[in-house]
Structure 1
Amino acid sequence: MNRITQLFQQQSQKLLNVYFTAGFPQLTDTRIILKSLQEAGADLVEIGMPYSDPVADGETIQDSNQQALENGMSVKMLFEQLKGMREEITVPVLLMGYINPVIQFGIEAFCQKCQEVGVDGLILPDVPVDVYEDEFKAVFEKYGLLNIFLITPQTREERIRQIDAMSEGFIYMVSSASITGAKTGISADQETYFNRISALNLNNPRLIGFGISDHKSFERASQYANGAIIGSAFIKAIATSTDLPQTIKRFVKGIKEPA
């Protein structure tokens, strides 16, 4: 059974998924951050594959992408860094990024490498559900990879139902139409959207992302879904850290526990 599916069967509330950009702040930090997040209590880890034009991301994550690329990070390098990770990493691991670098690497070769190193799923925001179904679904399934789809406040119910029917793992609920890191906290309009999605009684669990930055917003999001995804706030926390394990321990504790 895929680790993502297993996690949601074992735990259905207040799951914390933390995003970080591979190769940031330093090229060799990827495994340190991954291990530290697991030890700190993150339930899932989402590793960003740096890309020169991350259209869904705000300035913080864009800057981390640029720095990682300047550091020398690439898809090939990332797979080298993740080799053997399952000897010490038990939490589900997802790769998040854009389809161009995956196509350049080769779809089948990419999925095969994911399976080899122990990646559980992918988040590719610029791949429409229809394109995924026609072009990528078969090879993803061949290598045991779950594809995580995003929905937004503008996604039509018909499309949400289609995504729910095709999904395994969880659905990524984008909390607003803005880019990552543009807003913090949860508004009344967002709560209306969360309630609307809850009323659909979808088959798949949901995690809420965009705008989650502290314990309060994590708790609020967790009232409407199975947990939340944090990215920009974490990138800011580690950007100038001189002791990544300690910084990460404090950050995760601050999200999961009241001050």
Structure 2
Amino acid sequence: MYLSMKSINIEKIIKTFGLYKKVLLLLFCSFCFMSLSCSWIRSGVSPVVPDDEVEIIPVRENVFLHRSVGSALGQLFSANGLVVVTGKGILIIDTPWTEEQTSFLIRETYKRFQKKISFVIATHGHGDRIAGIRIFKENNIPVLSTSLTAAEAVKNGFMRPDPKLDLDPRLSLGKVGIEVYYPGHGHTKDNIIVWLPHIQLLYGGCFVKSLESSHLGYIGEADLTKWNISLKSVKQRYPDAKIVIPGHGEPGGANLIDHSLFLLEKGAGL
């Protein structure tokens, strides 16, 4: 059942029918809300996650957002990752939400670009970043991380990525340079960001919030004080960032870092 609340002029109805009708209207609105949301809040029932739906969205030449949908807390959320196409292969930053979506991404990138995935970088150990690791490993595609993320992944029930990024945070694929930076504790204690200097793109993952975000989201493993400091260190280290990719929501510019700082300083999410 789908009802559009935008089509209902609530103020006009209240003024016309008075207090008694106002009470009836509030009851009606409550019924509409319950009708819209009941499929998500029934005990033991989660929203259905699309198995094979991964969007591949152009960002710049040879750089694409991959966007998948997953379930958390009884709701559906989209998550962003990155596809970087080079002359020597493809870099993937973060896996989709599910293994089925990961299989789709592997097939689709090869179909579109006629190149194989060379390696994957996981930016922290949560499912929206690393849930597809088994599929990559089964396809002999290395999944790289820091030692912190490797430990967190195992703790969260995922396969262990290869913790090579502690020793070698500067990578290359073809003519594309890749810099991995650990800014300190933020959304999680293991979150990293990825910098692509050739297009001045900063991939922030869940460490950075989108402009449409009005709160910090899940903060169960966050350190809000350190997150503030960590964001400022990223802003200082990459003052020339022109494109910033958040873990969820729409890409933007360096203003995403400022917005994330704003949310932290205002105590959003507490």
TM-score > 0.5, shorter chain as reference: no
Q: Which has the higher contact order (CA 8 A, sep 6+)?
A: 1
- TM-score, normalised by the number of residues in structure 2: 0.33
- TM-score, normalised by the number of residues in structure 1: 0.34
Structure with bigger gyration radius? 2
